[in-house]
Amino acid sequence: MHHITVIGGGFAGLTAAITAAEAGAKVTVYEAHHTLGGRARTTAGPYRTNEGPHALYAGGPHWTWLRQRDLIGPLASLPPLEATRLRLHHHGALRRTPPFPLLKLLRRRTAPAPVDTDFLDWATTIAGEEGARAAAHYAAVALFHHDPGSLSAAFVQERLRRATTLPPEAHYPRGGWGTVIDRMAARATHLGVRIETGSRVDEPPENTPVVVATALPAAGRLLRDDTLTWPSGRTVLLDLALRTRRGDAFAVSDLDAPGWIERFTAQDPSLAPAGEQLLQGQFPVGPGDTRADALARAEHLLDLGFRGWRERVTWRREAVSDGRTGAVDLPGRTWRDRPALDRGDGIYLAGDQVAAPGVLSEVSFNSAVTAVSLILGRPALDLKHA
């Protein structure tokens, strides 16, 4: 019987642990933090926040895998009236409908975008420069990058389509992502997985397969491998609680620059105390920009979409997430070019910046399942759809 060590108790680590345990392996998970979840943690309250805006996309294999095991739990549904309150910031004003040129990029007959051209150049040939920039900025909700137009056209187009699919692919576990992590941890424990929190690993154990399911920089330090790098985003995160007032927007997408702010209590009132609304936003910043620059943009959107918000604030938190928002692919690169899962000597990587397909958490899932399949010598496809 295999004994597998998993380092990291986030979404990727728990996926690897459950997959391995279901196949009959003995598994130990080491998590340096005192709680599981990684970037999928949800605070205990009274404001149940994720680390930035989070959604679970229904189009990927992880959705099927989680549903089959009853790990998603109840979903928070967006009332139809709230859905009409999506606003788009374009040319300095809030609008209810997207600019027509942007819609050209969403037509089903639009040809697949090329890998080796940047999104802005490719999209400009279809929708003009204004439509291309608006589309790139809208796609930033799933990119967390300050210049989406400079990334691979194929990479951005996939995320744009997933973010604009109707009916929406984005779903929200009631109570936040932490509820999914709690159910995954309970299933892992039921399967016999040993989970040790508050346990930092400084050297990978020998004579046992190891899945390193940490952020890529942490994996590089653990494995003493300077090649474990890949571009990611840098974004300012804003969490805000406001006293409830009718007429607030559900979400505001900035089409003039990358940015997104969403009222998460619109679909899940349990995330904040009664009479209050919880907003979470992300505003990417470039190398020369500051947190203050991003917060100024955020407050401008708040002025437009949440009237009188300053007088209604009951709680506020800010943070900067640097290199912790998943991989981004530059022109000429795809997910296959990212750091390989199999590092040799029984070491495997899992996470959202490694060589696996998908969008956001799907990369973590696919890499974790594939890493376990390599260890057990089984086809990855069989495990993905088990």
CB neighbours of 218 closer than 8 A, spacing ≥ 6?
8
Q: Report yes or no on whether pTM surpasses 0.85.
A: yes
pLDDT in tens, 294-319: 999 999 999 999 999 999 999 999 99
Give me the mean pLDDT over the 325-329 stretch.
Answer: 96
Q: Residue 219: how many CA atoms within 13 Å on its side-chain side?
A: 29
Say how many C-beta atoms besides its own lie within 10 A of residue 197's C-beta: 14
Residue 385 has pLDDT above 50, yes or no: no
**Quick check: 150 and 5 in contact, CB under 8 A?**
no
Which pairs from 128-131 meet CB under 8 Å and 24+ separation?
128/101, 130/99, 130/101, 131/99, 131/100, 131/101, 131/102, 131/104, 131/105
Domain boundaries for CATH 3.50.50.60 within the chain: 3-74+174-231+329-384
pLDDT in tens, 20-70: 999 999 999 999 999 999 999 999 889 999 988 788 899 889 999 999 999
pLDDT at 169: 92
pLDDT at 379: 64
Q: Residue 25: how many CA atoms within 13 Å on its side-chain side?
A: 24
Of residues 267, 285, 271, 281, the one with CA closest to residue 317:
281
Give me the mean pLDDT over the 82-111 stretch.
Answer: 93
Tokens 């918000």 identify what position?
309
Mean per-residue pLDDT of the chain: 94
Q: Which CATH architecture has domain 76-172+234-322?
A: Alpha-Beta Complex (3.90)
pLDDT in tens, 123-172: 999 999 999 999 999 999 999 999 999 999 999 999 999 999 988 999 99
Query: Which DSSP string corresponds to 203-265?
Result: SPPSSS-EEE-S-HHHHHHHHT-TT------EEEEEEEEEE--TT--SEEEESSSS-EEEEGG
Topology of the domain comprising 3-74+174-231+329-384: FAD/NAD(P)-binding domain (3.50.50)
Peptide bond into 167 cis (omega under 30): yes
pLDDT in tens, 339-384: 999 999 999 999 999 999 999 899 999 999 999 999 998 765 444 3
> What are the C-alpha distances in Å from 226 to residues 49, 206, 333, 344?
33, 21, 20, 15
Q: Is residue 1 very low, low, confident or very high in pLDDT (cuts 50, 70, 90)?
A: low
pLDDT at 160: 96
Residue 2 has pLDDT above 90, yes or no: no
Tokens 């599981």 identify what position?
36
pLDDT at 384: 39
pLDDT at 382: 45
Residue 110 has pLDDT above 90, yes or no: no
Domain boundaries for CATH 3.90.660.50 within the chain: 76-172+234-322
Give me the mean pLDDT over the 330-335 stretch.
Answer: 98
Residue 270 DSSP one-character state: G
pLDDT in tens, 204-251: 999 899 999 999 999 999 999 999 999 999 999 999 999 999 999 999
pLDDT in tens, 232-242: 999 999 999 99
Residue 122 has pLDDT above 90, yes or no: yes
The SS3 assignment for 336 reads: helix
pLDDT at 12: 97
